[in-house]
Amino acid sequence: MEVEQLHLPAGEEIPNNPHLPALAYRGLETVARGAAACEELFTGNGWGGTWRDGVFAFHHFHSTSHEALGVAAGQATLALGGPQGEQVHVAAGDVLVLPAGTGHKRVEASEDFLVVGAYPPGQEDYDLRRGDPAEIEEVRGNIERVVLPPADPVAGASGPLVEAWDLCA
């Protein structure tokens, strides 16, 4: 399993996570089989609150939750990390795991682009922030309080997320 770590710089509006990298898992057959298979993978590894949709076309982030995004169909270019971040191409079979505070936005996508989202246990009631500078101190505090997930949404208790994030914590 190919997993890329993305270290995204903090910005004045999009804070990103100061300690944890975003992770990009590439070419997972299970996820490429479609939304139902992706949901089963995530819920089987303890991540819940699943939904099916695209990614908003505006910069946003969640300050109270980590988020997994499984690309069940199509392809897209996403801006990760806010205006100061980077563009990442994703396609069916890819999974992004975004630590709390990580900005994301759809730049372009195929018509069939479909994402399955999921959250660690107890973090399913996430917030939606758009980078209001007046909220930056509040959201930084929220991000610091978000606990590490007990398992990787793709590979369970011993997956790449557990190793990468435990090393950073």
pLDDT, residue 167, reads 58
- The CA angle 92-94-99, to the nearest 5 degrees, is 140
pLDDT category at 2 given cuts 50, 70, 90 is confident
Chain-centroid distance of CA 123 in Å reads: 13
Q: Which H/E stretch holds residue 80?
A: strand 75-80
Reply yes or no on whether the pLDDT at 24 is more than 80: yes
Whether the CA torsion 48, 51, 54, 58 is positive or negative: it is negative
Reply yes or no on whether the pLDDT at 168 is more than 70: no
Q: Which fold has domain 2-168?
A: Jelly Rolls (2.60.120)
Predicted confidence (pLDDT) per residue in 127-167, tens digit: 999 999 999 999 999 999 999 999 999 999 888 998 899 85
CB neighbours (10 Å) of residue 135? 15
Neighbour-count burial of 17, counting CB atoms closer than 10 A to its CB (0-12 exposed, 13-18 middle, 19+ buried):
buried
First-to-last C-alpha distance (Å) of the chain: 23
Residues 16-44, mean pLDDT to the nearest whole number: 97
Residues 3-31, mean pLDDT to the nearest whole number: 96
* C-alpha to C-alpha distance for 61 and 6, rounded to whole angstroms: 16
Residue 167 φ then ψ, to 5°: -70, -30
Predicted confidence (pLDDT) per residue in 45-74, tens digit: 999 999 999 999 999 999 999 999 999 999
